[in-house]
Structure 1
């Protein structure tokens, strides 16, 4: 456990009070700094440094990084048609990997009640089969629009992106995660699963699961947009990598250019969407996250890139200020975002005080 610095006293009290007032089972929080490493690492209630939690959509930045890594290595071109990689793209073969990762493919976004794309929630199929079926269905789905014309959050696009990564690399998604992140970054308990059916995780509330990985059967169809699990320490290392221009323990996981590409507001630059989204990062503050129509906030403030999740996890980095934060509660996106909103100014002040 990292010693708790005095400058973070208000942060500690805020989380403790929030957990108590909302009757939560606990929380975890890590703050990492580009120049000073771990600034703050703390847990409340049932949480500890060993606790593994489902992180839902906070998986997206990590997933996007896999394809960026393959792009860096010349195994995949983010701006090339996916038909250059997979032979089953059909009429939608002109979609690019960058469009899949930025909500810009034109394929319908995530809807829990959308039976057409149910395969993304099924652990018994494969990523390749799901992507092939999804592309075929989307080709005749009247809701599908031209790429780079509308922002659609989440959904089948991410399964397709994962399948493209597998074919481009000749490796399974699990092998890619191990090779790209687990080994160089020294992650202890990080991986992907398909939690929805095994854990009955379909309501939007955190499932009855205490981190026991034995309850998650192996799957060839991990949920790319929302199926990762992690400890606070593991996710902190991933954020440190983004802050340190793509390096983990001195190894170049992502190129500096790749890190920058992920942080650009691709949705706004390519088709003037009011939604600020890069490759996995929300690049503008979000209003109505988790709703049918998330919108970008007009609130200026510091440059803060976010990746929030359904169950209350959220990650953010402030690249210009050199720090990043991973917050986890096992609840709902609304509860997690309420706490994050409280912590933004407190953590920023604490980091500034620590640097003085």
Structure 2
């Protein structure tokens, strides 16, 4: 079993809404591999939900620490014991499943955290952005090699910035996110997504790092994701029926059309469902979901039919690139399209089939296409969740692999 790493994440991305919003939450790797001064903005503090969570719904086969599925018996005693022993995660919902069995292999509620509790995802939203893009690729609406212009009419026709493509925006290699101190419109919901993308385009990139060509550097943050969202919205050619005058679909409608509706994710939105849909959704960190819904997405990704080009979707796209802003401790991991490629060595990253998308409040979903399972830690920790979620994920991975390896056939 590979050595597990503990990471502190930028979670919802590097962004700016004012000087008072910054905090030294994690250290960043500079382009020379050394430490740069911590310049990290925390996402808005999670507010405990006032909504009453639905009672946990656990398949009948999961009433004990041993479960049966697909002709096998699994022993989850060690996994549940590790979850119970973790004092930093007092409340959470934990799921392990595969792509073939209709029930979860393991489902456990610790404390008070129902399977239908609506929860802010922070950076776990980034996987949603990548999935939406890939589904629109499958629909023939976009390609990963699409340039930003002409759909984003404001996009420059000169300099290296003209060469930014959708794949760059989704893989943190666009040339944006060069500094967290400029351009924070992604946290202004009343704007229009298109106008926010223009703001990022105009204020960032070449004026901060001349010659920073797309595909030349890896810099983790929220700005390019916002551009990608605006591009997907602008590129859509379908017309919303029954409207006068007819109009193209919004980002929220596209997400519903291509992702949540096909998967039956009725409680997943790119905004707090207690409010209303913003015209400028926070693409890199503003989604809300439930454990039940997010598990549906993970199961679909593991199955390989929902996103048919899983190799292209999950492959590393940052190997060998200078790292400008990267979550502290993540220097051994690479980035794909909205998810991290988990690996311990450079060579392992090229073949790793473990992808994850951690969030600031401890929410972590991952798929392991080698072992053949998906896992989910659904929790909401107001302080330290960015560290704790991944720390527990790494511990759980080894225990899940062991339980799968030692499963026994049902006589």
User: Could you say which residue in structure 1 is the equivalent of 2:173?
Assistant: 104
Q: Shift of residue 150 of structure 1?
A: 0.8
The answer to whether the 8 A contact 1:30-1:41 is kept is: yes
Q: Does 1:222 align with 2:281?
A: yes
In 2, distance between residues paired with 1:54 and 1:138?
28
Q: Is the 8 A contact 2:123 2:285 kept in 1?
A: yes
Aligned to 1:264: 315
Given that 2:178 and 2:209 are in contact with CA atoms closer than 8 Å, whether structure 1 keeps it comes out as: no
CA contact (8 A) 1:35 1:322 kept: no
SS of the residue corresponding to residue 266 of structure 1 reads coil
Matched, 1:12 2:80: yes
Q: 1:327 aligns with which of 365, 368, 377?
A: 377
TM-score, normalising length: structure 2: 0.71
Following superposition, the deviation at residue 313 of structure 1 comes to 1.0
Report what 1:79 is aligned to: 145
Q: How far has the Cα of 1:261 moved from its partner?
A: 0.9
The within-5 A match list for 1:170-189 is 170-189=248-267
Displacement of 1:143 in angstroms is 3.2
Structure 2: distance between partners of 1:142 and 1:31 = 44
Query: For the structure 1 residues 354 and 126, does the alpha-carbon distance in structure 2 shift closer, same or farther, using more than 3 Å as the test?
Result: farther
Give the corresponding residue for 2:268: 190
Classify 1:333/1:110 alpha carbon distance in 2 versus 1 (closer, same or farther; 3 Å): farther
**Cα distance, 1:275 vs structure 2:** 4.9
2:361–2:379 contact (8 Å) kept in structure 1: yes
| Offset, 1:219 | 0.8
Q: CA deviation at 1:54?
A: 0.9
Asked if 1:239 corresponds to 2:301, the answer is no
SS in 2 for 1:93: helix
1:192-232 Cα offsets, whole Å, 9 max, x none, are 12x7xxxxxxxxxxxxxxxxx32x34311111111111111
Length, aligned pairs only: 313
Q: Is the 8 A contact 1:107 1:143 kept in 2?
A: no
**Alpha carbons of structure 1 residues 299 and 76: separation in structure 2 relative to 1, 3 Å:** closer
With structure 1 as the length reference, what TM-score do the two structures score? 0.81
1:36-60 CA-partner distances (Å, limit 9, x unpaired): 2421222111201121111111111
C-alpha RMSD over aligned residues:
2.4
Instruction: Please give the per-residue CA displacement for 1:276-295, whole angstroms capped at 9, x wherever unaligned.
Output: 11111211348xxxxxxxxx
Structure 1, gaps ≥5 residues long: 196-212, 248-253, 287-295
Residues in 2 aligned to 1:110 and 1:158: alpha-carbon distance in whole angstroms: 15
How far off its partner does 1:272 sit?
8.2
Residue number among 121, 144, 152 corresponding to 1:55 in the alignment:
121
CA distance in 2, matches of 1:282, 1:313: 14
Question: What do residues 112-157 of structure 1 show as CA deviations (whole Å, max 9, x unaligned)?
Answer: xx2x211011111121110011111125532362111110112210
Q: Report deviation, 1:298.
A: 8.3
Aligned to 2:204: 138
The reply on whether 1:35 has 2:86 as its aligned counterpart is: no
Return 5+ residue gaps in structure 2 as ranges. 1-57, 67-74, 237-247, 324-331
* Partner of residue 342 from structure 2, selected from 276, 284, 297: 284
Please point out which of 345, 352, 356 is paired with 2:405. Answer: 352
Separation in 2 of the partners of 1:109 and 1:102? 14
Q: How does 1:307-346 map to 2 (within 5 A)?
A: 307-331=357-381, 332-346=385-399
Q: Greater Rg, structure 1 or structure 2?
A: 2
